[in-house]
Structure 1
Amino acid sequence: LGDPTDYAAEYPFFDEATRAARFEALRGNGPAAGEPERVLTTGRPNVVVVILESFARTIMDERVDGEWVMPRMQQLKGEGVWFENFFANSFRTDRGEVAILSGYPAQTRTSIMKLPAKCRELPSLARSYARAGYATEFIYGGDLNFTDQASYMYATGWQRLVWQKDLRFDTPAADWGYDDRVMGEFVAERVVDLARGGEPFLAGWLTLSSHTPFDVPYDRFDDKLLNAMAFTDDCVGRLVDRLKASPAWDNLLVVLVADHGYPYPADEPYDTPLRHRIPMLWLGGALAAPRTVETYASQIDLAATLLGQTGLRHDDFAFSRDIFVPRERPFGYYVFNEGFGAVDASGQAVWDAATGRLREGSDPELADLGRTLLQATYVDLAGR
């Protein structure tokens, strides 16, 4: 049965002609946008996307008694392409995954991942790379049926899914599945095996240990949240070390990106840009040189950026903008349950649907960018 919800009428900020024109001007996607600056040495790298559970920038940049909570991320960001002003589009894993893997914006009070009929025609990194001759595989140490992840993955072209039901380890599974140390070792060896096979590949891994209840086989900090984050940081560092030591590294691009932020410190309001700021870091032998990218962007922009670097078309990713193509006003965008936020180098705008008002001090132009994206998301959702 079709979904009867009138999504197109959810956020009627502009009449349809105005909305369409504003979105088209905002989009700037496809060949007309221009050629991106190249940061890779090859147009056909093997790609690994690691989605980091709850890796907030506020936690990554935290110290306890002078020690970094995430020392490996702090070290590695100097070795790759580091995106300084990067934002999650939402506050949930299911919405973050779709933003990362399909370049599709999160919704405020629904999740397209839970609407299988609407997922079928979503663009995806998996489908784009498969068309270019890549093998595609996604790995998770837990249950991919949770929030209909497996349904979404299959619908959007992932050829092989590996998850808890397929895995057997001596270490017992935790609440969410096999911990990140066990899975990090598994993923590293799987990537090495795939590279040895000679066929280009896209592999994905979603971590899980830095999720509540934060029970991990690690004892570095008394605070359970910070200790779990430190554990996953260590596991990701070990993964990178293993790949660096293998022949796979030379033609490899590893993308580390969080699924969403986390309310840390606990008094940080849920609707602020800081609450949604996350790390994104590219590593691997396929990179030309380390650098810091100051451009403001968000998860939906990864798809066009990655495909642009590998010479693949991304016109069908209507909401995704290549970070390495110069733009007049790049910005980050996110939603929460009752509104949206937009942020750039000059300011921010936060709109609350409950009051219908902008937060004091909001930039009017950024507010209109956010309104355009939110309305366009729901109009697009209605048409799927």
Structure 2
Amino acid sequence: MDASFAAYLSVIPFFLFLLKAIFPSLPIFNFLKYYTWLFIGVLALLTAIDLELYNAWGFRLDATPLQYLATPNEMAASAGNAPVLLLVLIFLGLALFGFYIFRRLVPHFTFGSRRQLLFIVLSVWFLAFLIVPIRGGLQHIPINQSDVYFSDNIFANHAAVNLPWNLMYSLSKRNYENKNPYEYFPDSSAQNLVSELYKTPAGAQVPMVLKNPRPNVLFIILESYTVKVVGCLGAKPGATPNLDKLAREGILFDSIYASGDRSEKGLVALLSSYPVQTTTSIVKTPRKTEHLPHLNQELEAQGYRSRFYYGGELAFANIKSYLLNAGYDHLISKFDFEAKDYNSKWGVHDHILLQRVLRDLHDEKQPFFTTVFTLSSHEPYDIPIPNKFAGTDETTRFRNSVYYTDYALGQFITAAKKETWWQNTLVVLAADHGHRFPGDDPNDAPSKFRIPFILTGGALAVQQQVISKVGSQTDIVPTVLAQMNLPVNHYQWSKNLLNPHARDFAFYVFNDGFGYITPAGAVTFDNVARKIIRKDETVPPAQLDYGKAYMQVSFGDFLAK
């Protein structure tokens, strides 16, 4: 792979050598010098960036960051915890070392006219020969990442990948056309396996938990909330006292997993019940999101008024196009707040956002559907209140940011309970994705994807219930719609979590891999190496087949959208 990328870089110089052989007076060496210097600098910069992104994301630098270029401020905020000085020093060190090697070890070739024909022949030969290292050899299939994977240790495999080659390959593969890269079974066999997952007995009795079938719906999406910080789900207490209280006042689902690890992917799973893609996202393609079902569309057909609130910039990761396709009546973002309220690098802090929601709902016509997406628990964990937990390490700062959002949520709920609309409102609380902290989980770890999901509010007829069915973000919308006696046939990738006969499973993806969880345990799989990363001893062999089939069929559906 190293030779392959070196050969790609050599195409232009070798072509210039051919021109120089044909036209000896052609000045090419200054161009080649600057060309080399340029790539020394670029590669040094990419290496420094990769060091930090791998620490945060768990995979080598690819085209993923490109979807955030439209929102540079948010990108900068995400990098708020990066050791910038150290990365700059690494970049300068690599660049200067590259310049030194170039100046000291690379000779200057000259082309003599007496050997012009020989030079022409050699230049043509070398230029043509580059195709061999570019494709990785003479084998039938050109080189790809799986060719350099050699270990059961995923970190070792990642380390073997050539960084700039991986980035170039990713850029060339981002816009999938018709080829599904995850074909493990004949299509009919894969479809049959997936269909089995959603079969339930006809006429199964599902408990009804609402006081009436047309409540207001307040859907609060919590940024980066992971089970690992939620007290009522077994974490060390103290970070989420208000969320814990809301769980006691309603229904707590304790075995729910995020479908992916990015915010824009989580929104689609939460609001459209649509599976997440690995190295791309359906949000990037508005023509595809036009064909997605959406909770807002179902409720607006029933006369609901709708609003979406976010304290940051909705252009981030192309989220705005998805929400517009969903048909929200009003979109409220950071630009709807005064500049003096921009207390966070992302936009406005959660307590300011929730105060705005509270004011608007006071006069909102019922029934309403309001979606709120928090942000203060996102990197760089910038909060406007004193720290709850002592320490400056990243895990502690993350816990403090979760505590602050929980504090803001508690203030909001306390005030909301005094409003006339509260007694007829169902509150849905779920995270957009999990988090690697605490514990600095590997990219594929199930614990990184386990998230809270709570139903609460004045419209709920039951309290202090815990549902332990294994499920996913994609199961939330149909669970709510079924309680409202509304059709769920548009949501083929989901089940009703309150149906005791629904199958216990959750599927999630990370970068070019997937995890599949049942009560028997978890298995995670690397789609590049085509190898299991981890597998609990109690997991039966068939569980991996279900995961592969889900990966294949869901991505095929994405391509067909």
TM range (shorter): over 0.9
Task: Mark the runs of 5 or more structure 1 residues left unpaired by the alignment.
Answer: none
3-state secondary structure, aligned to 1:84? strand
Counterpart for residue 9 of structure 1: 180
Matches within 5 A, 1:213-252: 213-219=380-386, 220-222=388-390, 223-252=396-425
Say yes or no: does 1:191 pair with 2:364: no
Structure 2: distance between partners of 1:4 and 1:87: 27
Structure 2: distance between partners of 1:218 and 1:242: 19
How many residues get paired?
376
Structure 2: distance between partners of 1:322 and 1:286: 19
Question: Which residue identity lines up with residue 264 of structure 1 in the other structure?
Answer: F
Structure 2: distance between partners of 1:109 and 1:341: 15
Counterpart for residue 267 of structure 1: 440
Cα 1:318/1:171, change in 2 over 3 Å: same
Asked if the contact 1:8–1:375 (Cα under 8 Å) also holds between the matched residues in 2, the reply is no
The two structures have a TM-score, normalised by structure 1, of 0.93
Say yes or no: does 1:158 pair with 2:331: no
Say yes or no: does 1:208 pair with 2:370: no
Structure 2: distance between partners of 1:33 and 1:20: 24
- The C-alpha deviation readout for 1:303-335, integer Å capped at 9, x for no partner, is 111111111101111101111122363112211
Structure 2: distance between partners of 1:349 and 1:314: 29
Say yes or no: does 1:132 pair with 2:302: yes
C-alpha RMSD of the superposition: 2.0
Cα 1:328/1:144, change in 2 over 3 Å: closer
In the TM superposition, residue 8 of structure 1 has moved relative to its aligned partner by 4.9
Structure 2: distance between partners of 1:67 and 1:59: 8
Say yes or no: does 1:305 pair with 2:473: no
Question: Which residue identity lines up with residue 182 of structure 1 in the other structure?
Answer: I
Say yes or no: does 1:85 pair with 2:255: yes
- The one of 315, 318, 328 equivalent to 1:145 is 315
Counterpart for residue 26 of structure 1: 197
In the TM superposition, residue 184 of structure 1 has moved relative to its aligned partner by 1.3
In the TM superposition, residue 188 of structure 1 has moved relative to its aligned partner by 2.1
Which of 1 and 2 has higher RCO (CA within 8 Å, sep 6+)?
Answer: 1
Specify which structure has the higher proportion of strand: 1
Cα 1:67/1:329, change in 2 over 3 Å: closer
Say yes or no: does 1:366 pair with 2:559: no
Structure 1: distance between partners of 2:255 and 2:502: 16
3-state secondary structure, aligned to 2:224? coil
Structure 2: distance between partners of 1:100 and 1:352: 25
3-state secondary structure, aligned to 2:248? coil
Question: Which residue identity lines up with residue 214 of structure 1 in the other structure?
Answer: Y
Question: Which residue identity lines up with residue 239 of structure 1 in the other structure?
Answer: F
- The C-alpha deviation readout for 1:37-89, integer Å capped at 9, x for no partner, is 211111000001000000011022499xx751112112221111111111111
3-state secondary structure, aligned to 2:421? helix
Question: Which residue identity lines up with residue 116 of structure 1 in the other structure?
Answer: P
In the TM superposition, residue 207 of structure 1 has moved relative to its aligned partner by 0.2
Structure 1: distance between partners of 2:262 and 2:347: 18
Cα 1:202/1:21, change in 2 over 3 Å: same
Say yes or no: does 1:349 pair with 2:523: yes
3-state secondary structure, aligned to 1:247? coil
In the TM superposition, residue 26 of structure 1 has moved relative to its aligned partner by 2.1
- The C-alpha deviation readout for 1:191-223, integer Å capped at 9, x for no partner, is 2322xx3x3111101000000111111112233
The two structures have a TM-score, normalised by structure 2, of 0.64
Asked if the contact 2:426–2:456 (Cα under 8 Å) also holds between the matched residues in 1, the reply is yes
Say yes or no: does 1:336 pair with 2:510: yes
Question: Which residue identity lines up with residue 127 of structure 1 in the other structure?
Answer: Q
Task: Mark the runs of 5 or more structure 2 residues left unpaired by the alignment.
Answer: 1-173, 391-395
- The one of 23, 41, 45 equivalent to 2:215 is 45
Structure 2: distance between partners of 1:226 and 1:304: 31
Specify which structure has the higher proportion of helix: 2
Question: Which residue identity lines up with residue 200 of structure 1 in the other structure?
Answer: P
Tell me whether 52-61 or 267-276 shows the greater mean CA deviation. 267-276
Asked if the contact 2:257–2:508 (Cα under 8 Å) also holds between the matched residues in 1, the reply is yes
Structure 2: distance between partners of 1:314 and 1:62: 30
Question: Which residue identity lines up with residue 514 of structure 2 in the other structure?
Answer: F
In the TM superposition, residue 374 of structure 1 has moved relative to its aligned partner by 1.3
3-state secondary structure, aligned to 1:101? helix
Structure 2: distance between partners of 1:137 and 1:242: 19
Asked if the contact 1:297–1:332 (Cα under 8 Å) also holds between the matched residues in 2, the reply is yes
Asked if the contact 2:227–2:434 (Cα under 8 Å) also holds between the matched residues in 1, the reply is yes
- The C-alpha deviation readout for 1:140-166, integer Å capped at 9, x for no partner, is 111101111110001122222111112
Counterpart for residue 14 of structure 2: none
In the TM superposition, residue 27 of structure 1 has moved relative to its aligned partner by 2.8
3-state secondary structure, aligned to 2:514? strand
- The C-alpha deviation readout for 1:209-252, integer Å capped at 9, x for no partner, is 00011111111223321111110011111111111121111100
3-state secondary structure, aligned to 2:405? helix
Asked if the contact 2:495–2:502 (Cα under 8 Å) also holds between the matched residues in 1, the reply is no
Structure 2: distance between partners of 1:351 and 1:304: 28
Asked if the contact 2:349–2:383 (Cα under 8 Å) also holds between the matched residues in 1, the reply is yes
Structure 2: distance between partners of 1:374 and 1:210: 30
In the TM superposition, residue 376 of structure 1 has moved relative to its aligned partner by 1.5
Asked if the contact 2:257–2:471 (Cα under 8 Å) also holds between the matched residues in 1, the reply is yes
